[in-house]
Structure 1
Amino acid sequence: MDIKRSLILLFSSYNCFLFGQEKTIDTVYVFDSQMNKVKLFHKVNTITPKDIEKNSTNLSELLRFQSQIYIKENGRGAVSSPSFRGTSAGHTAFVWNGININSNFLGQGDINNIPLFGYDELEVKAGGGSVQYGSSAIGGSIHLNNNLDFNKGLKASLYSEVGSFDTYNNFLKASFSNEKFSFKVSGNYFISQNQYEVPEKEYVNWNGRYYNTSINIGASYKIAPHQTISWQNQIFDGSQYYPVFTENGNKTKYKSQTLRSLLAWDINKSNFSNSLKAAYTEDNFQYFGDINKPKESGAEGKNYIFRNDFNYFITPKINVNVIGEFQVNKGLGYQSGIEDISRNMGSVAGLVRYFATKNLRFEAGAKKDFVESLTSPFLYSFSGKWNPLKWYNVGASFSRNFKIPSFNDLYWQPGGNLNLVPETSNNIDMDHEFSFGNFKVTLSPYYMDVKNYINWLPTQYGYWSAFNTYKVEIYGLDSQITYHKTFGKHSIKLNAGYTYSKSINKETGNQMVYVPIHKANGNINYSYKFLNVYAQGLFNGLTYTTTDEKRADAIDPYFVLNTGISATLLKKYTLGFKINNITNTVYQTVSYYPLPKRNYSVYANINF
């Protein structure tokens, strides 16, 4: 098979543009086209909408049971943040349709204030990715993607669930498409009184109520055979009532509102493509120190983003990709000392891909960010993937990544520090993939060296302030095994993983807080005709919560098991029953905030 034909097959398998033929295949519009190129060199785990239904409480629960990420959650549905490969919360980039959506104020993604439903796929990429996805893509990135189909006609579906603790979850989706036009809309409303009890800890989740609403709208139109204009919009409104330890304790709450709107113009031809995007994102929040009184603090953030992604094949073996981006970040704080601020950011990235043979390819990338009032590091990445044998392939990458100080780090008063510099990391990542029949085993060792960690520390003046402090050395292993077998009307799917993470503060030699050394999760699914049964387990090893590794304050190891069964009738109606924490395990991911013991839910899914 010649190289030109190999590239055609290679790119078509990832829904990218095709090289070497006159007409492109564009039955699906993909908003994050860069991810299709990333998959050529890096392992990416995809979570489908059906997988999402198994852990439908919130995004924290989904990532906890279906990814290698450790999720720190202050009680079910409350404040939540990730630890990806031994890094801190600000070292994971959340990417919505190719746009980085980490909070300008926090510098991280507020997981339980990101909608769970409304995506066509949720993808988890481990390892450095700042050349493609910017600040915070050090430990990894989480991608929330929407696609639009053409020539699919009219479709609709309704998902409705009732669960323990007065929990109600409803999701409605509808779409229409013909040869030139595609439209999709969905809405989700979730509410839970969330008052659960853990007698062994003498804990009741008083004031744990939370609810949220989200709306997603997408549209795409082919203005010419090779040109498409598209729009994606997301609105979210949420409220979290923070748990208190006594029924009459001081009750607080947090409200957040986000708006994300993305307009794209795409050109896809035989040997080049170009994607021009303009986006507007808005993140607002309010904190109430007393739920019956006016807000005590809050902030309003607005981002204007322009991004162009140009991709061109110089020859059938050499591909050039140039990405330019410009942002205007605006913020206004309330009772935080953060006045009306504005920051300009720009970046230019270039990537060259060389397809030596159909089994060997390389990529080299470089990027320079220009951040107002900050000196940004020069970033780079080198990747390669080789398939020497039918049953074995290997990939490796080396990259430099970064995280810029957040608005809170710089401007909060008192405590903000205008002298902060960006955190940087050097990453080495590898993937060894073995295939044995229906089994696939992946071993992924990794190493990170993170410098200029930003921490908030007490000062002699009686308040806390942000400083660039120590270095952290992180190394470990991600492993995954998958199995899929269909025989007759039976089908079995297995997806299990184990992660070993050593994250060492080089100043003290101790493990970083809230980084378990051992974490394992597994999902197995069996179906026969119209019946489907699944089970998923999670093991979390000893987790230190203090910098001195004090065993008495550490979170003990735990194992949690969930299960569920569903039946689909006439291919349109699905009824299901789920049991979460069937083992009735007492466990927590953050000290003093246990998560629920055994709980139940029933759901119905109707396709129209």
Structure 2
Amino acid sequence: MKKTIGLLIAVCCSVVSFAQTQLDSVHYLDVIELSDIKLKQNAAGFKVTVLNDSVLNKNTSNFTDLLRFNSNIYFKENGYGMVSSPSFRGTNASQTAVIWNGININSQLNGQTDFNTINTNNINQVVIRNGGGSVQYGSGAIGGSVHLDNRLSFTKHLKNDVKLNYGSFESKNISLVTDYGQDEFAFNLGVNFIDSDNDYKYLDSDKINENGAFNNLSLNVNLGYFISEKDVIKLYHQSFIGEREFSGTTATPSKSKYEDENSRSMLEWVSTHQNYKSNFKVACLKEYFEFYQNKNSEFFTFGQVNTFLAKHNFNYKLSKQLSVTSILDYNLFKGEGSSFGNPERSIFSATGLLQYNPSTNLNLGFNVRQDVTSDFTSPLLFSMDALIGITENYKIKINASKNYRVPTFNDLFWQPGGNLDLVPELSYQFDLGHVLDFNWLKLQLNTYYIKSQDLIQWKPNISGFWSPQNIAEAHSYGAEVGLTISKKVNNHQFRLSSNYSYTVSENLETNKQLIYVPFHKANATLAYSFKRFSAHYQQLFNGDVFTTSDNLKGPFYSLQSYNVANLGVNYKVLQHSNHELELGLKVNNLFNKLYQNVAFRPMPNRNFNIQLHYKF
């Protein structure tokens, strides 16, 4: 591991040094080019939230905390830095899609993405899309989708970004990102290393978080080259190597360890013409893990999946108001593991998107998708959305969709207990949004309803083994409110951003709220800046959650609501056109509150993080 880290850092330093010799000036650019065209052109009727550089820079911890404090998503985290699972509008982790530069990267083993294996220092932009997206993004996009995008800017520039972090519990974070571009060629490269003893204190007890240490290394490399005036070739690569000791609960200690390696490589050819645009992608993805019940033992279980993907998007403008898009997508999955053998799956999908913009105040979309899957029958999917401009400052967003989730390799083939008779989960939903937008204020209100059937649940069978079954039906409904206020008075800049969600998610067989779905969740960030000084205060409220399906209350059946606050201050020690050095201090869990988001797994006490951030 140490040799790998040293080699990668040496490569990065060499790249930075080479790039510096090629340029006489530095240009800081704000041009953003998304690899995911559908997110930009076919989401007019959906709630879409963009977390840009200013928000990402306030996050000195992990991806889970970034979304926890800046979105409506609720997270279950098995202790800080451990497995992190999202709950989006009352759905579960396998019903939230994670999209990397336009392709779905959810695990084929358990159907979800562990948000603590994603590093935001190597991502230029995070976009959250509320509502069903299975037509555009395939299996799992039921509650919503989280999009991770990398930026390539074909303008003469060089930017380097170095972050050094040190914090409580011997936590260290080193990040290096370099971005270079000319008229025909662009690349960016990012390396990030995190290491932490993670031995925080359990408040109101004499215990600490034992066996919780973790470290990981991530690498991002992205290249782009114009082979002609209308054609550009792009290469995206991401690697992650991690090792975590899985901490136990307050009652049960643990000695387990988990090692995982994930890699994603994608080649993209974009051809842009006057009336049409063609986008062709080929990708290879690998996920691999080893689990040690005893970290001191050489015995482990393992699992891996190799994914091969080919995807073609073709967008044609029939007129200024009307455009159509076809998407052909082929995926081949090959798995191997200690508990599920050697499964394979292939999926071919055909998608049609129609976008109609008769005026600046009306945007309509209608989309259909059909999958052909090797091991079960897939449903025909559809979605419709509309953006209606009532006035210059008031808009209405409407969308409706049919979505699905296919059974994972674990669901089908896990031994003992896998069930080959499972069928895909289905979901129907409707969303109505109101947007009030002024120069200094933006207010969003969304109400929604989701009806799901054939939900996959693991339950004990007659042999005593746990086995998945299509048994449950559920519905979710609620409201989401988002408010952003930005005001500048002379050199004083103020910004308030906040989110609130009310969620009812019930099992229709029992009329009980689903576990780990809070009725109420809210967060707010107040940011202030004056010349070289800036500060921000974050507040998070999570309501009570049930931890058992019968909705009993008490310390063994539910988790109490909690309020958690963070405070950060930054000062730019050096500020020139070519160089900028900033020193930051952040206090997490400012008021030292005892809280849990998974039963019997306390989160950290008050802790500190110091950051040195150098741009040149």
Range into which the TM-score falls when normalised by the shorter chain: over 0.9
**C-alpha distance in 1, partners of 2:366/2:43?**
15
1:603 and 2:583 correspond: no
SS at match of 1:200: coil
- Cα distance, 1:567–1:453 mapped onto 2, change above 3 Å: same
Q: Once the 2 structures are TM-superposed, how far is the Cα of residue 175 of structure 1 from its aligned partner? A: 1.7
| Cα separation, 2, equivalents of 1:66 and 1:246 | 29
Matched to 2:189, the amino acid is V
Which letter does structure 2 place at the counterpart of 1:449? K
Which residue in the other structure is 1:342 paired with?
Answer: 344
**Which residue type is aligned with residue 265 of structure 2?**
S
Aligned pair count?
581
In the TM superposition, 1:93-104 aligns within 5 A as 93-104=97-108
SS in 2 for 1:587: coil
TM-superposed CA distance for 1:34, in Å, is: 1.8
* Map 1:121-270 → 2, pairs under 5 A: 121-245=125-249, 249-270=253-274
Instruction: Give the distance between the partners of 1:41 and 1:599, measured in 2 at CA.
Output: 41
Specify which of 286, 290, 299 is matched with residue 286 of structure 1: 290
Alignment of 1:326-365 (within 5 A): 326-334=330-338, 336=339, 338-365=340-367
For the residues of structure 2 that align with 1:155 and 1:365, how far apart are their CA atoms? 40
Instruction: State the alpha-carbon separation in 2 of the partners of residues 562 and 156 from structure 1.
Output: 28
Kept in 2: contact 1:113–1:256 (CA 8 A): no
Counterparts of residues 24-43 of structure 1 (less than 5 Å): 29-43=33-47
- Aligned match of 1:17: none
The structural deviation recorded for 1:440 is 1.2
Distance, in Å, in 1 between the alignment partners of 2:60 and 2:423 is 39
Counterpart of 2:104, as a letter, is: N
Checking the alignment, whether the CA contact within 8 Å between 1:264 and 1:278 is kept in structure 2 is yes
8 Å Cα contact 2:246-2:254 kept in structure 1: no
Who is 1:531 aligned against?
Answer: 533
1:429 positional shift: 1.0
Q: Distance in 2 between matches of 1:301 and 1:544?
A: 34
Find the residue that maps to 1:340 and give its secondary structure: coil
* Aligned counterparts, 1:403-422, within 5 A: 403-422=405-424
Name the CA distance, whole Å, in 2 between partners of 1:53 and 1:435.
25
CA contact (8 A) 1:440 1:482 kept: yes
**Could you give the per-residue CA deviations for residues 121-163 of structure 1, whole angstroms, max 9, x where no partner exists?**
0111110001111110000001111010111322211011101
Q: The residue matched to 2:282 in structure 1 has which SS?
A: strand
Corresponding residue of 1:303: 307
In structure 1, C-alpha distance between the alignment counterparts of 2:281 and 2:90, rounded to whole Å:
33
The 8 Å contact of residues 72 and 514 in structure 1, kept in 2 or not, is answered as yes
Hey, what does 2:23 align to over in structure 1? Answer: none
Query: What is residue 70 of structure 1 aligned with on the other side?
Result: 74
> Is the Cα–Cα contact under 8 Å of residues 44 and 385 in structure 2 kept in the other structure?
no
Larger mean Cα displacement after TM superposition, 114-123 or 583-592: 114-123
CA distance in structure 2 between the partners assigned to 1:250 and 1:564 by the alignment: 34
Aligned position for 2:5:
none
Does the 8 Å contact 1:206/1:247 carry over to 2? no
Aligned AA (2:597): T
- The answer (yes or no) to whether the contact 2:552–2:558 under 8 Å persists in 1 is yes
Q: Deviation string for 1:483-512 (max 9, x for gaps)?
A: 112232111111101000000100000000
Identify the range of structure 1 (43-52 vs 177-186) with the bigger mean alpha-carbon deviation: 43-52
CA 1:36–1:481: 2 relative to 1, 3 Å: same
Alpha carbons 2:211, 2:254 under 8 Å: kept: no
Q: Tell me the secondary structure at the aligned position of residue 365 of structure 1.
A: strand
SS in 2 for 1:204: coil
Inter-CA distance 220–425: structure 2 relative to 1 (3 Å threshold): same
1:339-362 C-alpha deviation (Å, 9 max, x unpaired):
122111010010111112111110
SS of the equivalent of 2:512 reads coil
What's the CA shift for 1:295? 3.9
In structure 2, distance between residues paired with 1:136 and 1:330: 19
Match status 1:460 vs 2:462: yes
Question: Could you tell me which residue of structure 2 aligns to residue 578 of structure 1?
Answer: 586
Contact 1:322 1:349 in 2 (8 A): yes
Deviations 1:60-106 (A, max 9, x none): 11111111100000100011101000011111001111110000001
Secondary structure, in 3 states, of the residue corresponding to 2:545? coil
Aligned to 1:373: 375
Letter in 2 for 1:466: P
Structure 1 length-normalised TM: 0.94
Pick closer, same or farther for the CA change 1:224–1:437 going to 2, 3 Å.
closer
Distance 1:290 1:267, change over 3 A: same
Deviation at 1:247, TM superposition (A): 11
- Please give the alpha-carbon distance, in whole angstroms, between the structure 2 residues aligned to 1:367 and 1:245: 44
Partner letter of residue 577 of structure 1? Answer: L
Equivalent residue number for residue 6 of structure 1: none
Q: Residues of 1 paired with 2:465 and 2:252: CA distance?
A: 29
Mapped to 1, the partners of 2:48 and 2:39 lie a distance apart of 9
Q: 1:587 aligns with which of 592, 595, 601?
A: 595
Structure 1 position 27, deviation (Å):
6.6
Q: Which amino acid aligns with 2:456?
A: I
Structure 1 residues 203 and 139: alpha-carbon distance in aligned structure 2, compared to 1, 3 A threshold: farther
Structure 1 gap ranges (5+): 1-25
Where 2:57 maps in the other structure, the secondary structure is: helix
Q: Percent identity?
A: 36
CA distance in 1, matches of 2:429, 2:207: 41
Distance 1:249 1:103 in 2: 28
2:268–2:281 Cα contact (<8 Å) kept: yes
The aligned counterpart of 1:472 is: 474
- The residue identity in structure 1 corresponding to 2:181 is S
Structure 1 counterpart of 2:613, one-letter code = N
Distance (whole Å) between structure 2 residues aligned to residue 85 and residue 592 of structure 1: 24
Q: Name the residue aligned to 1:425.
A: 427
CA displacement at 1:209 relative to structure 2:
0.3
Amino acid at match of 1:30: L
1:474 and 1:503 in contact (8 A); partners too: yes
Specify whether residues 295 and 58 from structure 1 end up closer, same or farther in structure 2 by C-alpha distance, changes over 3 A only.
farther
Q: Would the aligned equivalents of 2:43 and 2:385 in 1 still touch at CA under 8 Å?
A: no
Q: Which residue of 1 aligns with 2:6?
A: none
Q: If the length of structure 2 is used for normalisation, what is the TM-score? A: 0.92
Q: Whole-Å Cα distance in 2 between the matches of residues 28 and 182 of structure 1?
A: 13
Deviation at 1:43, TM superposition (A): 2.2
Q: Deviations over 1:447-487 (max 9, x none)?
A: 10011110110012121001011100100001100111223
Local SS of the residue matching 1:402: strand
CA distance in 2, matches of 1:196, 1:83: 26
Once superposed, which parts of structure 1, at least 4 consecutive aligned residues long, lie more than 6 Å away?
Answer: none
Does the residue aligned with 1:66 lie in a helix, a strand or coil? Answer: coil
Report deviation, 1:294.
2.1
Shift of 1:42: 2.0
Structure 1 residue 169, shift from structure 2 partner: 0.6
Letter in 1 for 2:321: K
SS state at 2:179 partner: strand
C-alpha separation in 1, matches of 2:468 and 2:230: 50
Provide the C-alpha distance between the structure 1 equivalents of 2:183 and 2:439, rounded to a whole number of angstroms.
39
Return the letter of the residue paired with 1:541.
G
Distance (Å, rounded) in 1 between the aligned partners of 2:299 and 2:266? 31
SS for the counterpart of 1:321 is: strand
Measure how far apart 1:53 and its partner are.
Answer: 3.1
**Are 1:448 and 2:456 counterparts?**
no
The alignment partner of 2:472 has SS state of coil
Note the alpha carbon deviations across 1:315-374, whole angstroms, 9 max, x for none. 11111011110000010002x1x1122111010010111112111110000000111111
Deviation at 1:204?
1.6
The residue type equivalent to 1:570 in the other structure is Q
The structure-2 alpha-carbon separation of the partners of 1:56 and 1:27, relative to structure 1 and needing over 3 Å to count, comes to closer
Q: Given the superposition, is the C-alpha separation of residues 295 and 152 from structure 1 closer, same or farther in structure 2, using an over 3 Å criterion?
A: farther
Compute the RMSD of aligned alpha carbons.
Answer: 1.5
